[in-house]
Structure 1
Amino acid sequence: MKSSRSEYLPVRGLRYHLRHWGREDAPMLFMLHGWMDVSASFQFVVDCLQRDWHVIAPDWRGYGLSARSGSDSYWFADYLGDLDAILDHYAPNQQINLIGHSMGGNVACMYAGVRPQRIARLVNLEGFGMPPTRPQQAPGRYAQWLDGLRQPPDMRSYASPEQVMGRLQKTNPRLSDERAAFLAQHWAAPNAEGRWEILGDPAHKMISPVLYHVEEALACWQAITAPVLWVEAAETDVWRWFGTKDLAKARAEIDRRIATIANVATESIPGAGHMLHHDQPELLAERIEAFLAQA
């Protein structure tokens, strides 16, 4: 494995952890992890990159080794604000190459439309966005959120790293023992009682009272000027996130969203599920570098 190093940076009042791979004078490549994940999740892809890169990957607020917000809820706009501050620190007044997985892909696409001048090339790994919502859902959503405030969620703990490995492999049966063992030590840590706790703020499990306004998100996507590589896993289970068993309907909605991006190429990674950067890192690294080399 390529070695990584940690850095801690004050970002908008929170102590952020960022993981670096490669020489500091190499071209920068920023990677954004997804929900309930950590920056070390990109290790396998970084290992497969052929070109020299300075890869920079933050643990989002409330994940991994970054500080928790201290609030009872997390707000999506804060990820945009955090990313803006991070890029201002490492690459002021520069265009950068940006990769985001799942939630990180959603952040990347939104940011690329809000700050189009900052992005040279963008790779979206299964960052489909959330299911469409209707205004009529607002009362029930607010009620769910208020109920959640009365009974805050907690995070399950595990007796050993091996149990953490089992949890990771239950979610992703393709994950090898070797990769699961590596991820377990970064995804969880022992607490004062010796049990292993997931390194994520339980508040991330709170339902958001704010409905997902897909047309607002797509207005941002439409403003992206950088070339975009949209990557899906051939065996993705993203359909269940859209709240429908009608795969054709979900596919049509995703294709509608992709079509709002002006300059987009699509790729499908065979033999991979949603965690495609764990399942097929060699293929994914190859596609990413081929796309970045077109600049």
Structure 2
Amino acid sequence: MSSSTPAPSAAPIAPPYQPRRPSTSRFVNVRGLRYHLRCWGELTEDGPPPLLMLHGWMDVSASFQFMVDAMAEGRALIAPDWRGFGLTERPATDTYWFADYLGDLDRLIDAVLPDRRIDLLGHSMGGNAAMLYAGLRPERIRKLVNLEGFGMPRTQPADAPRRLLQWLDELRTPPMLASYETADGVVRRLMKNNPRLPADKAAWLAGHWSAPQADGRWHLQADAAHKGVSPVLHQVEESLLLWQRIEAPVLWVDGALTDLATFWGSRYSREEFEARLATLRAPVTRARLPASGHMLHHDEPEALAAQIERFLAA
């Protein structure tokens, strides 16, 4: 582009979305970390079971706001920011271990919801954690909702040297996260990630997904170490043994526009996932949202809320 050619004008950003049910924040100590919880409604002894909602990788608890706004009031809803995301403290580490999410979840439930059976919901990585936890502590979960927590591709022992070398190389050159000159840059990043996300919702999310720092730029509310590869290979058989211990009825929701190849190429097919889901002994209810991709709670929050409420009330 020549110096005399004007740059294309940026698309206007809409005013931020206005939540119908604003959340309140609570902080608790979980395994030495100051954990942030986003809460809607009040916990009561005689009310419906509370619903604990677990966000996905590179996301934050505020991501559930649009779905919450479409749900009826009367049930307490709680969504933590996972360690190193959102307003939860970052551990002093260069590597995140998946087992720590399960440890955090167990202690979080002990701290906030002791002696209660709860309903548990997870999206993507949060769905993976919810499935494993429901198999480890089946007595604690009344109903389980999995929003596109597909699990991970199968690995082989022969993959170990390459994976460990990749991890060692990343420790030498740690991953970085992009920063943005203005909040509008974050808004456009969110809409590029998901073209179905309306501008007003992207503008609202940007203020929770990122924050201005001392350098005057907007930085994502996430530890860059989350982008690093895990040195531990995923063992499918171990996960399936936990899935088979689940006792709670399961609601599986996916989007008709989701393409697994976007995530894993040819390493993990829809057919393989279906075979894994078929191993569950707990009853499974299925729902598919026709106009949704992976971010179901952004694409069709009203339809998703209706599916969840129908399942929890059944």
Distance 1:118 1:47 in 2: 26
1:160 counterpart = 2:160: no
Q: Distance in 2 between matches of 1:67 and 1:40?
A: 16
| Identical columns (%) | 57
Q: 1-side partners of 2:261 and 2:152: how far apart?
A: 11
Q: Which region of structure 1 is more displaced relative to structure 2, 221-230 or 86-95? A: 86-95
Deviations 1:191-243 (A, max 9, x none): 10110000000000000010111111111001100000011111013233233
Say yes or no: does 1:277 pair with 2:310. no
2:307 is aligned to 287
| C-alpha distance in 2 between matches for 1:155 and 1:187 | 13
Mapped to 2, the partners of 1:129 and 1:54 lie a distance apart of 28
Among 245, 257, 270, the alignment partner of 1:235 is 257
**Amino acid of the structure 1 residue aligned with 2:36:** H
What is the identity, as a one-letter code, of the residue corresponding to 1:11?
Answer: V
1:22 equivalenced with 2:41 (yes/no) = yes
Find the counterpart in structure 2 of residue 257 from structure 1. Answer: 276
Structure 2 CA distance for aligned equivalents of residues 23 and 214 of structure 1: 38
- What's the counterpart of residue 74 of structure 1? 96
Partner deviation per Cα, 1:128-166 (whole Å, 9 max, x = no partner): 011111110000000000000000111110011111000
**Equivalents in 2 of 1:279, 1:238: separation in Å?**
17
- Tell me the distance in 2 between the aligned counterparts of 1:162 and 1:24: 37
Equivalent residue number for residue 4 of structure 2: none
- Counterparts in 2 of 1:80-99, with a 5 A limit? 80-99=102-121
CA distance in 1, matches of 2:43, 2:239: 34
Distance 1:129 1:145, change over 3 A: same
How far apart, in 1, do the equivalents of 2:285 and 2:272 lie?
17
Q: Select the residue among 127, 139, 160 that pairs with 2:149.
A: 127
Deviation of the 1:254 alpha carbon: 0.9
Matched, 1:214 2:236: yes
- The number of residues matched between the two structures is 291
Q: What TM-score does the superposition give when structure 1 sets the normalisation length? A: 0.97
For the pair shown, which has the larger CA radius of gyration, 1 or 2? 2
Instruction: Show the 5 A alignment for 1:151-190.
Output: 151-190=173-212
8 A contact 2:260–2:270 mirrored in 1: no
> Which of the residues 57, 60, 79 maps onto 1:38?
60
Please tell me the residue identity of whatever aligns with 1:8. F
Q: Is the 8 A contact 1:131 1:241 kept in 2?
A: no
- What letter matches 1:3 in structure 2? P
Q: Is the 8 A contact 1:15 1:66 kept in 2?
A: yes
Partners in 2 of 1:154 and 1:11 — Cα distance? 26
* Structure 1 counterpart SS, 2:192: helix
As a proportion of its length, which structure holds more helix? 1
User: Secondary structure of the residue that 1:285 maps to in structure 2?
Assistant: helix
Task: Choose from 175, 197, 216 the match for 1:194.
Answer: 216
Q: In structure 1, list runs of 5 or more residues that go unmatched.
A: none
Runs of 4+ off more than 4 Å: none
SS at match of 1:41: helix
Q: CA deviation at 1:51?
A: 4.1
Code of the residue aligned with 2:148 in structure 1: it is: E
- Distance of 2:293 and 2:124 partners within structure 1: 12
Task: Name the residue aligned to 1:142.
Answer: 164
Output the CA distance in 1 between the equivalents of 2:109 and 2:57: 20
Segment drifting more, 22-31 vs 258-267: 22-31
The root-mean-square deviation of aligned C-alpha atoms, in Å, is 1.1
Residue pair 2:257, 2:291 contacting (<8 A) in 1 also: yes
